[in-house]
Amino acid sequence: MPFLALLLALGAQHLAPPPRGWPDAAYGRVALWLAQRLDAGDRLTGALALAMLLAATCLPVALLAWLAAAVHPLALLALNVAALFVSLRFFQTTAALSASEQAVRGGDLAVAQPAALRAMREAHHGTFAMLFWFAILPGPVGLVLHPALRRAAELWALGEGGEARAFGRVARQAFYWVDWLPQRLTALTFAVVGNFEDALYCWRTQAVPGQPARDAVVVAAGAGALGFQLADAAPALGEPAPLVGTGEPAGEDALGSLGGLLWRALVLWVIAFAVLAAIAA
């Protein structure tokens, strides 16, 4: 069922792309609403807000999945297809990457590196991490858990002056662990469908420990898999941006190569779902 749901959802997205920004915007609004009412500047209220966020987002989806399964397997299939359709952002990521590639070929070379970084991160968070949790958790719960936690970790992380907020610490720690294994599976996927040795080398030597928000493992492995260098975002104001990857800096041909890498990565994940479906049959 998950394999069939994935195929149907990707086919539907190809024919009629879903609107951008949703449902992430809904998770963000709920997270901000909870922060405005519960933020007392400590970890306890942050933990309470996170529990309420997950209750408001994951529990209704879990209940709906249970009801759909009780009605008929086809009802659960339809729910999974709908959830995948509105959640996955692969086609949005590749479309934005293609637009950036056209800009680079038109002479705007400064676009190349930021576009490559953004595409690798969006492919991870908007496609591969959610596919992992979709395969692990029942029904479409995983498609809600990962992005809801991510929005909370982002929105509750820093205060107005840029200082870390104790209120957001629990959300940051929770998202770190929820995203720990998916990041490494995405990095491994890039290695398998790209330059395996360089990807693993960059993963081991260039991924900055303790920087999960920057998706260091994904970016380093992706750049190594493609054989170009990227200037990652500086870890702190005034510090030089670290270079990741190998070879020449990302330029005119890099974005086209990255687009091919992302498509091969998606095919590998679809094959993995097919294998899981065959094992379960």
Task: Name the E strands within the chain.
Answer: 228-231, 243-245, 248-249
Global pTM reads: 0.90
- Span 201-215, mean pLDDT? 72
Only one residue has tokens 């990095």, namely 187
54-68, 103-117, 198-212: which is most confident: 54-68
- Span 149-176, mean pLDDT? 82
Residue 47 CB coordination number (10 Å): 17
pLDDT at 213: 47
Amino acid at 32: L
Lowest mean pLDDT among 78-82, 85-89, 156-160, 204-208: 156-160
**Cβ-contact 276, 136 below 8 angstroms:** no
- Residue pLDDT, tens place only, 20-58: 778 888 898 999 999 888 888 888 998 999 999 999 999
**Cβ-contact 228, 246 below 8 angstroms:** yes
**Cβ-contact 8, 19 below 8 angstroms:** no
- Residue pLDDT, tens place only, 260-274: 999 999 999 999 999
Q: How far apart are CA 68 and CA 75, in angstroms?
A: 5
The answer, yes or no, to whether residue 212 has pLDDT greater than 70, is no
pLDDT at 124: 97
% residues pLDDT > 90 (the chain): 57
Q: What residues are paired with 249 via a beta bridge?
A: 229
Lowest mean pLDDT among 23-32, 97-106, 133-142, 234-243: 234-243
Residue 216 Cα to chain centre, angstroms? 13
**Cβ-contact 140, 203 below 8 angstroms:** no
